[in-house]
Structure 1
Amino acid sequence: MSGWSIFNGINPFDDWATVVDCGDAPLTFLDNTVALKQLDLAHKVISSRPATTRSKSSIPRIITLGGDHTTTLSALRSTYEKWGPVSVIHFDSHIDTWDPDVLGGGISHYAGVNHGTFLHIAHEEGLINNSSLHVGIRAPLICRKGDVRNDIRCGFQILTARDLDRFGIAGMVERIKDRVGDNRVYISVDIDVLDPSYAPGTPEPILLQKMV
């Protein structure tokens, strides 16, 4: 039980949760647009099944693992259908709220839907609250003022990687809680938020210049 100390000594698997491995969603690797539609359908099917749980809600909580970060868009669409808009806690090195006309060049809709624009699109679709935030940001911005302005418009605040040094873990947790309040929360984690020593395959060095 010591491994569950962060849950105040409660093992959630023995408390209220029944964990089911739903397998892999069948996705084509030939067309991202089609793949997202396939993932939308997979989420819809899984979330429509009543959960076997001792909690008050019969709606299953879905944890998705792996894949390009664009897959979060399908997850947020599914979450919205069951819970309405949510506050997103986004652990990442990058903000991922870039305007598709900026990241994708406005060449086509296909090019504009990608791993760096999905939170912008989620905002445009009304899936998220204006009480969301990024945690661990340390990667370059394309256009600092424009990117930050659009990020704020999409409902986000930024806690940088350097903020962890300034505020400590407890301080970061309090700032996250203050930001999201009592709203329902969706948590998204990109592996490059980790220190490169723990995820050497996706290194993102901390910038020395001021992010915002």
Structure 2
Amino acid sequence: MSNPFENYQPDFCTSGSFMRLPSESKNAKLSILGMPFDTAASYRVGARFGPQAIRQASMCLSSYHALLDVSPFEDTNAIDIGDVPVITQNIHRSYGVMENAMLNLMKKGVIPIGLGGDHSITLASLRAAAKVYGPVALLHFDSHTDTWDTYMDEKYWHGSPFIRAHEEGLVQPDKVFQIGMRGWEVTSSLELGYNVITQNELFSRGIDDVVKQVKGTIGNTPCFLTFDIDFVDPAFAPGTGTPEVGGFSSHETLKMVRSLTGFNFVGFDLVEVLPSFDPTQTTALLAATLVHNFASLVALKIKQENDQVEILS
């Protein structure tokens, strides 16, 4: 008699990849990759263990996104290529390794979702994106602008990736939106020509109005989305390096991300998950759910494009 549970694995059994994704697929349109670099953090360290925690938390997620009506990882033939072998003692060599990993995926038309790591990793991803697509639009969810020039005379740290990206010409300044800022002053970002939507403005205007503005400005420009988990209030995401109280709930956060349909996303990352301050895996589970939503946005766009082709044919 056959065993109906022969191929079943409990949620606590993991292959080490996000939702047990394979490492290879000829038709992959989406890839998870870990970017476990945290040497550029200025306060709490330990985000190098973020990718591992996010992957473990992903085991209890559904393969289907009911609200967007897609199966994000099946519809994209998604893969998880594992962690990039960063060099903890050297940020610039690590940037090279991370950029190459992102670049290899993007050149193949595969949309990457990077799991951080501190927020310095995004500079490497933007360097890769600019080589493939030219200067990109940027959606940046955070409580900090990360446009500080230096920290203790160091120009490369997790508080400076978006001033460095501006200097290197990696982004289109008028199509950069920094959303949810509440931890620091925003003058430096405004001087760069970035659009800053503070937490108070987001609360007062509402998600729909802000997303309408962002869509109207960015249009179909290739867009990278970076999400610092400290965008979320630490009551809902305590495991992070630089927590800022007074942020959004997990429900509000997911509602906003789900509303980001219709963008030409070419890459994503999710950063600053710090497992040692996340004893109940609340933060890791939210991070995994956000990655699930990022993948669902990609799957939805593919589905809509396929439907359009069928209509035209």
Normalising by the smaller structure, the TM-score range is: 0.7 to 0.9
Structure 2 contact 102–125 (Cα < 8 Å) conserved: yes
In structure 2, the CA distance between the partners of 1:171 and 1:87, relative to structure 1 (3 Å rule), is same
Report the TM-score when normalising by structure 1.
0.77
Question: Aligned residue for 1:112?
Answer: 155
Question: Aligned residue for 1:4?
Answer: 65
Question: Aligned residue for 1:55?
Answer: none
Per chain length, whose mean CA-contact separation is higher, i.e. which structure has more relative contact order (CA < 8 Å, sep 6+)?
2
Is 2:184 the partner of 1:140? yes
Tell me, what secondary structure is at the counterpart of 1:73? helix
Structure 1 contact 133–176 (Cα < 8 Å) conserved: yes
Q: Which whole-Å CA distance do the structure 2 matches of 1:191 and 1:158 have between them?
A: 18
Q: Number of aligned residue pairs: give it.
A: 183
Report the TM-score when normalising by structure 2.
0.54
Aligned ranges for residues 137-176 of structure 1 at < 5 Å?
137-141=181-185, 148=187, 150-176=188-214
In the alignment, which of 25, 28, 31 is matched to residue 87 of structure 2? 28
Question: Aligned residue for 2:119?
Answer: 69
Aligned ranges for residues 54-65 of structure 1 at < 5 Å?
59-65=109-115
C-alpha RMSD of matched pairs (Å): 2.2
- Measured after TM superposition, the shift of residue 190 of structure 1 is 0.3
Q: Which whole-Å CA distance do the structure 2 matches of 1:193 and 1:10 have between them?
A: 26
- Measured after TM superposition, the shift of residue 162 of structure 1 is 1.5
Amino acid at match of 1:127: L
Q: Which whole-Å CA distance do the structure 1 matches of 2:202 and 2:135 have between them?
A: 28
Amino acid at match of 2:127: R
Higher strand share: 2
- Measured after TM superposition, the shift of residue 5 of structure 1 is 4.4
Q: Which whole-Å CA distance do the structure 1 matches of 2:208 and 2:63 have between them?
A: 20
- Measured after TM superposition, the shift of residue 3 of structure 1 is 5.6
Q: Which whole-Å CA distance do the structure 1 matches of 2:102 and 2:136 have between them?
A: 16
Tell me, what secondary structure is at the counterpart of 1:43? helix
- Measured after TM superposition, the shift of residue 12 of structure 1 is 3.8
Question: Aligned residue for 1:177?
Answer: 215
Amino acid at match of 1:132: V
Identity of aligned residues (%): 33
- Measured after TM superposition, the shift of residue 196 of structure 1 is 1.4
Question: Aligned residue for 1:95?
Answer: 145
Q: Which whole-Å CA distance do the structure 2 matches of 1:164 and 1:124 have between them?
A: 28
Amino acid at match of 1:171: D
Q: Which whole-Å CA distance do the structure 2 matches of 1:14 and 1:67 have between them?
A: 26
Structure 2 contact 140–178 (Cα < 8 Å) conserved: yes
Structure 1 contact 133–159 (Cα < 8 Å) conserved: yes
Measured against aligned partners, the alpha-carbon deviations of 1:83-141 in whole angstroms (never above 9, x if no partner) come to: 11111000000001222xxx324x3xxx2111111111111111101211101100023
Structure 1 contact 40–74 (Cα < 8 Å) conserved: yes
Measured against aligned partners, the alpha-carbon deviations of 1:29-55 in whole angstroms (never above 9, x if no partner) come to: 11222222222232233334x3xxxxx
Gaps of 5+ in 2: 1-61, 248-313
Gaps of 5+ in 1: 51-58, 142-146, 208-212
Q: Which whole-Å CA distance do the structure 2 matches of 1:6 and 1:133 have between them?
A: 25
